[in-house]
Amino acid sequence: MKHDAELQELTGEITEASAFLDKAAQQLSERVIGQNKVLEKVFIALLANGHILLEGVPGLAKTLIVRTFASALNLAYRRIQFTPDMLPADLVGTMVYNPKELEFYPRTGPVFANIILADEINRSPAKVQSALLEAMQERQVTIGDHSFVLPEPFMVLATQNPVEHEGTYLLPEAQLDRFMMKVMVGYPSYDEELEIIERSAKTSLLPDVSSVVERDEIQRSRELIDRIYVDTRVKRYIVDLVTASRDPVSAGLESLEKMIEYGASPRASIFLLLTAKAHAFLRQRAYITPEDVKEVAFDVLRHRIRPTYEAEADNVHPEDCIRQILGHVKVP
């Protein structure tokens, strides 16, 4: 275990380095009302160097959140509208013939930006999904014989509509697993909706957002997150949660045996640890606790636990399984 003096020094560095988050949050509040939990999860995914899937009905400001987030953090932003007739070249780029030089040269696509909004991602076919998969996992794309490294930081924020499935393609499990978190975007409260219409029900455009963050501040924060202390007991707690989703009987959760078709992969354990450390960073702590793990567990696990047909028939959702696992696994 780290000495108290080391933890105190690291806490001071974290407090100083995380100051930019308050400035960014202030800018976001100028345009995004409510959705504080969603915004926090987006910050967590950025700090943990992961991608995020936002799911919610239309009109809940998912696009506005991503666009404002990129503006406040001074990051290059591209919005890509996914459609059934989309081709991989529309995403990553293609080889273009130059008649003067009598040769082909690569022209890069809109994926070359820091923040990518993949709008209605489930409307694109498998070939486009596979092209995005390489970008998300390898942080590079291949055009012809050339490979191009994507800019840093690079983050995909994808949206999908949970209620309209006509003309959509289910995301492959391999791609779902690449998303660090799946966050559910809900309706605002009554008072928040009143404020929304007071601010936004105008024919003029929304106010501009100032860029208040430098890229090196994000990199500095990631370096500090890597140094956050994690006790061995917390690591075991993370593995206990994930393995309980795979083998609920061994974990003493016999009731879930027929509810879960398959559980979370080892990538879930990695992402639980990274997001818990980012959550502790937001709380200006130099160590993580089981509570940090619990705070991010639903978002990290909900798209990695697949319920059986029997569970779906009984209206049992992944969140119900996660709730039982969190309630049963012993907290250190």
Quote the domain boundaries for residue 123: 31-197
Residues 190 and 297 in one domain: no
Residues 44 and 177 in one domain: yes
Angle of helix 266-282 relative to helix 215-227, nearest 10 degrees, comes to: 110
Highest mean pLDDT among 100-114, 151-165, 166-180, 278-292: 278-292
Which band of pLDDT confidence, cut at 50, 70 and 90, is reported for residue 295?
A: very high
Domains held by the chain: number: 2
CB neighbour burial string for 228-265, b if at least 16 within 10 angstroms, e if fewer:
bbbeeebbebbebbbbbbbebeebebeebeebbeebbe
Residues 157 and 288 in one domain: no
Confidence (pTM): 0.89
Which band of pLDDT confidence, cut at 50, 70 and 90, is reported for residue 273?
A: very high
Token pair, residue 298, equals 């639903």
Nearest to 140 by CA among 127, 154, 129: 154
* Domain-terminating residue out of 181, 197, 213: 197
Nearest to 267 by CA among 189, 181, 197: 181
Token pair, residue 210, equals 């100032």
Q: What is the mean pLDDT of the chain?
A: 87
- pLDDT at residue 154 is higher than 90: yes
Nearest to 114 by CA among 268, 219, 221: 219
Of 50 and 99, the structure prediction assigns the larger pLDDT to: 50
CATH number, domain containing residue 321: 1.10.8.80
- pLDDT at residue 23 is higher than 90: no
Of 205 and 225, the structure prediction assigns the larger pLDDT to: 225
Token pair, residue 34, equals 């409510």
Q: Are 90 and 109 in contact (CB under 8 A)?
A: yes
Nearest to 75 by CA among 116, 33, 23: 116
Q: How far apart are CA 131 and CA 133, in angstroms?
A: 5
Residues 183 and 243 in one domain: no
Mean pLDDT score, 237-255: 91
Q: What is the pLDDT of residue 256?
A: 87
pLDDT tens digits along 221-244: 999 999 999 999 999 999 999 999
- pLDDT at residue 262 is higher than 70: yes
Would residue 68 count as lying in a domain? yes
Q: What percent of the chain has pLDDT over 90?
A: 37
Q: Poorest-confidence range of 192-206, 233-247, 293-307? A: 192-206
Q: Poorest-confidence range of 108-122, 136-150, 223-237? A: 136-150
pLDDT tens digits along 319-328: 999 999 999 9
pLDDT tens digits along 159-190: 887 766 665 677 777 778 889 999 999 888 89
- pLDDT at residue 274 is higher than 80: yes
Mean pLDDT score, 189-199: 87
Q: What is the pLDDT of residue 36?
A: 86
Residues 172 and 276 in one domain: no
Q: What is the pLDDT of residue 125?
A: 81
Residues 241 and 281 in one domain: yes
Residues 279 and 167 in one domain: no
Would residue 109 count as lying in a domain? yes
